Amino acid sequence: MDDDGKLVNTEETNPQDFLWRFWFTVPIYPFSQRRTIRQEVVRDTIWTFEQLQGILYVVVPIRMTVVKLDTGGLLVYAPIAPTRECINLLQDLVKVHGNVKYIILPTISGLEHKVFVGPFARKFPQSMVFIAPGQWSFPVNLPLSWLGLPTKRTHILPPDSNQTPFGKEFDYAILGPLELGTGKFGEVGFFHKASRSLLVTDIIVSIPAEPPAIAQLDPYPLLFHARDKSTDAIVDNYSNRLQGWQRIALFSMYFRPRALEISPWGEVFRNAFQASDRSVKAYLGLYPFQWQPHWQDSFDALRGNGRLFVAPILQALILNRAPRKTLSWADRVAQWDFQRIIPCHLDSPITATPEQFRQAFGFLSAHNQGGSLPEEDFQVLREIDVQLNKLGIVPPAKDKVL
């Protein structure tokens, strides 16, 4: 936001300002063109920078958080694509508060976060880079320098935050690395003491009721998913933007919720020939999705009036492999006296208490007292889980904690 509390993005429309030249390293939408919006979260202290990412127009925000340091300068948590627009918005803060001192890579498994750290660090050659322990790459485990991280400036986060140069202002808790067979999962939650803000990456989310502002700079993905069939026209209005966003939220969380059916491909191709738009942008008119009338109920159950929850893919495929370690980490985080949470995806900032944060991990407990997401929507994720187990790709889930 600016001084009046508004969202800020540059007014220029030069495509070069939004260019991400290395889009091919993780080739997902919007590919080489990435807009950025800056928002002030805590006045004169914390800002978020949002871009967009997705597959098949299932787009969600990806967010980095910038914190002003008491000693001068800035700390950047989870960098995004350093486009000209993004860097210009950040330089506005640098001019007032000092240069970027520390860049944090808080995940070992989120490729959509890792890919930006090296290019971002090169924009600020005086900065130090701190990364979550246990980094890995697939299919070959490459040295960090081969992943673009600056060798002389990159440091692994030690177990004790007091051993870092920013330890007086931040505490952090490291989850993992959790062994997942062919890979690992890990995340570092950061607590900014002065503002009582918790920064997390992927592990916890909340769904906004309205389409995020970054998704409305170009609403085409929202309108694409607002349709009921391929022959429906793309019409830009508030109702369609809202409907498209809610369906995208279901897609992104469940892959295929219970309210979604996939049409037979013969029918999909027949309908494509009758589509009003058969351009490449519209995927040649292909639209295999059939939403059932009760899809809105699934969205309402997912959102839960904006409550915190752990993303279903993490519930069904990852954290249930290490329930005790995960709950121990959640217990430690819940000891911090935070009043807001800033995740890297979906809604932000989220007003929340440590108790609400801890309750979101109740699915790992045998004594979970309600608040769970509908089991019917987990069907596809459970099927993926079974297949991954059969193929020996991931270890079996462990029992819930008594």
**Judgement on whether residues 194 and 239 belong to the same structural domain of the protein:** no
- Neighbour tally for 168: CB within 10 Å: 13
Task: Kindly state the average pLDDT of the residues 359-371.
Answer: 84
Q: Name, in order, each residue with C-beta under 8 angstroms of 9's C-beta and a sequence gap of 6 or more.
A: 35, 36, 37, 38, 85, 89, 217
List b or e across 200-210, with b for residues whose CB sees 16 or more CB atoms inside 10 angstroms: bbbbbbbbbee
Q: Is residue 370 part of a domain?
A: no
Which of 8-17, 94-103, 155-164, 301-310 bottoms out in mean pLDDT, i.e. has the lowest? 8-17
**Judgement on whether residues 70 and 142 belong to the same structural domain of the protein:** yes
CA pair distance 274, 278, nearest whole angstrom: 9
Q: Is residue 388 part of a domain?
A: no
Please report which confidence band the pLDDT of residue 369 belongs to, taking 50, 70 and 90 as the band edges: low
Task: Fill in the amino acid letter for 300.
Answer: D
**Judgement on whether residues 178 and 224 belong to the same structural domain of the protein:** no
CA angle, residues 142, 165, 184, in degrees to nearest 5: 30
Q: Is residue 367 part of a domain?
A: no
- Say if strands 74-77 and 170-179 run parallel, antiparallel, or are unpaired: unpaired
- Neighbour tally for 355: CB within 10 Å: 8
The whole-chain average pLDDT of the chain stands at: 93
CA pair distance 295, 245, nearest whole angstrom: 13
CA pair distance 376, 292, nearest whole angstrom: 14
Lay out the sheet containing 37-42: strands in order across.
37-42, 46-55, 58-68, 74-77, 100-105, 128-131, 154-156
Question: What pLDDT, on the 0 to 100 scale, is given for residue 370?
Answer: 55
**Judgement on whether residues 195 and 55 belong to the same structural domain of the protein:** yes
Does 241 score more than 80 pLDDT?
yes
Two tokens at 254?
């469940």
Instruction: State which of 263, 279, 303 marks the end of a domain.
Output: 303
- Give the pLDDT confidence of 253-290 residue by residue, as tens digits: 999 999 999 999 999 999 999 998 899 999 999 999 99
* 182 against 306, higher pLDDT: 306
Q: Is residue 376 part of a domain?
A: no
Does 144 score more than 70 pLDDT?
yes
**Judgement on whether residues 198 and 229 belong to the same structural domain of the protein:** no
**Judgement on whether residues 134 and 154 belong to the same structural domain of the protein:** yes
CA pair distance 338, 192, nearest whole angstrom: 8
Rg of the chain in Å (alpha carbons): 21
Nearest Cα to 261, choosing from 283, 284, 228, 286?
Answer: 228
Task: Kindly state the average pLDDT of the residues 56-64.
Answer: 97
CA pair distance 157, 164, nearest whole angstrom: 8
Q: Name, in order, each residue with C-beta under 8 angstroms of 383's C-beta and a sequence gap of 6 or more.
A: none
Number of DSSP helices (H) and strands (E) in the chain, helices first = 11, 14
Q: Name, in order, each residue with C-beta under 8 angstroms of 134's C-beta and a sequence gap of 6 or more.
A: 108, 176, 177, 184, 186
Does 4 score more than 80 pLDDT?
no
State what percent of residues in the chain have pLDDT above 90. 83
Q: Name, in order, each residue with C-beta under 8 angstroms of 87's C-beta and a sequence gap of 6 or more.
A: 123
CA pair distance 106, 167, nearest whole angstrom: 15
Q: Is residue 369 part of a domain?
A: no
Which parts of 196-294 fold into alpha helices (H)?
213-216, 220-226, 238-254, 265-274
Residues of the domain holding 297: 218-303
Two tokens at 10?
């540059």
**Judgement on whether residues 242 and 322 belong to the same structural domain of the protein:** no
Please give the tally of structural domains in the chain.
Answer: 2
Question: What pLDDT, on the 0 to 100 scale, is given for residue 372?
Answer: 81
Residue with tokens 């949002």: 50
**Judgement on whether residues 27 and 118 belong to the same structural domain of the protein:** yes
Question: What pLDDT, on the 0 to 100 scale, is given for residue 2?
Answer: 52
Two tokens at 114?
């890792």
Cα 247 to chain center, whole Å? 17
Strand-pair partners of 107: 187
**Judgement on whether residues 274 and 241 belong to the same structural domain of the protein:** yes
Question: Which CATH number goes with the domain that contains 150?
Answer: 3.60.15.10
* 280 against 142, higher pLDDT: 280
Two tokens at 135?
């980094």
Question: What pLDDT, on the 0 to 100 scale, is given for residue 188?
Answer: 98
**Judgement on whether residues 40 and 142 belong to the same structural domain of the protein:** yes
**Judgement on whether residues 131 and 269 belong to the same structural domain of the protein:** no
Q: Is residue 372 part of a domain?
A: no
Q: Is residue 72 part of a domain?
A: yes
Residue with tokens 């920078």: 49
Strand-pair partners of 67: 46, 75
Two tokens at 388?
């991954």
Q: Is residue 26 part of a domain?
A: yes
Strand-pair partners of 51: 62
**Judgement on whether residues 325 and 231 belong to the same structural domain of the protein:** no
* 145 against 100, higher pLDDT: 100
- Neighbour tally for 33: CB within 10 Å: 16
Nearest Cα to 169, choosing from 146, 194, 188?
Answer: 194
Question: What pLDDT, on the 0 to 100 scale, is given for residue 377?
Answer: 93
CA pair distance 301, 364, nearest whole angstrom: 19
Question: What pLDDT, on the 0 to 100 scale, is given for residue 136?
Answer: 85
